[in-house]
Amino acid sequence: MRTVFYISDGTALTAEAFGRAMLSMFPLKVEHKTVAFVDCPEKAAKAVHEINQRFAQSGERPIIFHTFVSVDIKRIITASAGSCYDFLDYFVAPISKELGIAAQPKTHRTHGIEENGVKESYDVRIDAVNYSLANDDGSNVADYDQADIILLGVSRTGKTPTSLYLALHYGIKAANYPFTDDDNFENLQLPKVLKPHRYKLFGLTLEPQRLHEIRSKRREGSSYASYAQCLFELGEVEKMYRREAIPFLDSTRFSVEEIAAKILAETNIERHRF
């Protein structure tokens, strides 16, 4: 099995994102290894030792995706037994030519506390995370006027992870409201507390079988987790979405990243970070 290294003198998140995107195009099983903050020759030498060891053990050259500001450290890594790829090599020069501006590489610029020299972006994301935590599962409906979006759905349809993802990655204040037995599924109406914020509402739903599987892991054998209950709740909430003209998404086959991207594409909410 090939070993893939993602190495950087910063967080290695950029190298990992690029590398994983590239590898997703190939039907290949690999072992992933992220090595962050390789910011001195000693750490670079240690990383090279591990790369060379993997090559000696498997007989297959490790694949290395890397991003370095330091030319000297980059030279140490690229002298290893691995096959090295740095997508910045291919794009910085032509973009610099187009913009008429010389590149000024700086460690931690992309994923540091100051993103592109601006700390406000980081502060916005932290505020959004705190807001989403405080407004999870309808716990603080008095603050809905501050929300950028309010996610709706029955229990275990992905409201909380999606809210937190939107907050952490995009600085979006995402609240979420759960429909429960207290909302009377047999005559499900849009709760009064949500009506003033109708333009912020977005619904999530799942296929009944998937919801049954998720709930069974939490409360196996309960009426709450039964297929019949899942089918009933989802059917009623989807009727309400349609009746109230609330946009909604069946997230059964999507990751949380894809759910967030689809919500952003449909709502055009302003992102505070990309």
Query: pLDDT for 216-225, tens place per residue?
Result: 999 999 999 9
The answer on pLDDT for 148 being more than 80 is yes
Q: How confident is the model at residue 110 (pLDDT cuts 50, 70, 90)?
A: low
Q: What is the pLDDT of residue 19?
A: 92
Half-sphere exposure of 213 (CA within 13 A, CB side): 6
Burial class (CB in 10 A: 0-12, 13-18, 19+), 29: exposed
**pLDDT value of position 108:** 53
Q: Are residues 54 and 127 in the same domain?
A: no
pLDDT tens profile 72-104: 999 999 999 999 999 777 777 778 778 888 777
Domain count, the chain: 2
Domain membership of residue 274 (yes or no) is no
109 lies in some domain: no
Q: Same domain, yes or no, for 21 and 78?
A: yes
Give a yes or no: residue 68 inside a domain: yes
Segment 240-268 shows an average pLDDT of: 95
Assess whether 55 and 154 both reside in one domain.
no
Domain edge (last residue) among 70, 99, 128: 99
Q: Would you say residue 107 lies in a domain?
A: no
Residue 178 · residue 230 · CB < 8 Å: no
Residues 4-17: tens digit of each pLDDT: 999 999 888 889 98
pLDDT tens digits for 19-78? 999 999 999 899 999 999 999 999 999 999 999 999 999 999 999 999 998 889 999 999
Report which of 193, 197, 215 is spatially closest to residue 206, judged by C-alpha positions. Answer: 215
% of the chain residues with pLDDT over 90: 73
The mean pLDDT of 123-152, rounded to a whole number, is 93
Length of the chain (residues):
274
C-alpha dist (Å) from residue 170 to 26, 120, 247: 29, 13, 20
Euclidean distance between CA atoms 136 and 128, whole angstroms: 12
Burial class (CB in 10 A: 0-12, 13-18, 19+), 3: buried
Domain boundary among 46, 64, 99: 99
State both tokens at 131.
Answer: 């807001």
The pLDDT of residue 87: 79
- Predicted confidence at residue 270, as pLDDT, reads 85
pLDDT of residue 112: 52
114 within domain boundaries: no
Say if residue 134 is in the same domain as residue 89: no
pTM beyond 0.95: the answer is: no
Are 196 and 237 in the same domain?
yes
8, 82: one domain: yes
Question: So what's the pLDDT on residue 13?
Answer: 86
Task: Show the domain range for 191.
Answer: 120-267
**Domain shared by 192 and 254, yes or no:** yes
The domain that contains 161 carries what CATH number? 3.40.50
Do the Cβ atoms of 10 and 41 come closer than 8 Å?
A: no
In a domain, 13, yes or no: yes
What's residue 35's pLDDT? 95
| 105 located within any domain | no
Same domain flag for 146 and 254: yes
pLDDT tens, position by position, 161-215: 999 999 998 999 999 999 998 888 989 999 999 999 999 999 999 999 999 999 9
Q: Considering the domain boundaries, does residue 110 fall inside one?
A: no
Same-domain status, 86 and 167:
no
| Shared domain check, 261 and 156 | yes
168 and 259 fall within a common domain:
yes
pLDDT at residue 257 greater than cutoff 80: yes
Sheet holding 201-205, edge to edge: 174-179, 149-154, 201-205, 248-250
Q: Looking at the predicted structure, is the pLDDT value of residue 254 above 70?
A: yes
Same domain, residue pair 251 and 146: yes
What does the pLDDT read at residue 176?
A: 96
Residue 55, token pair as written in the block: 């090559």
| Of the residues 99, 129, 160, the one at which a domain ends | 99
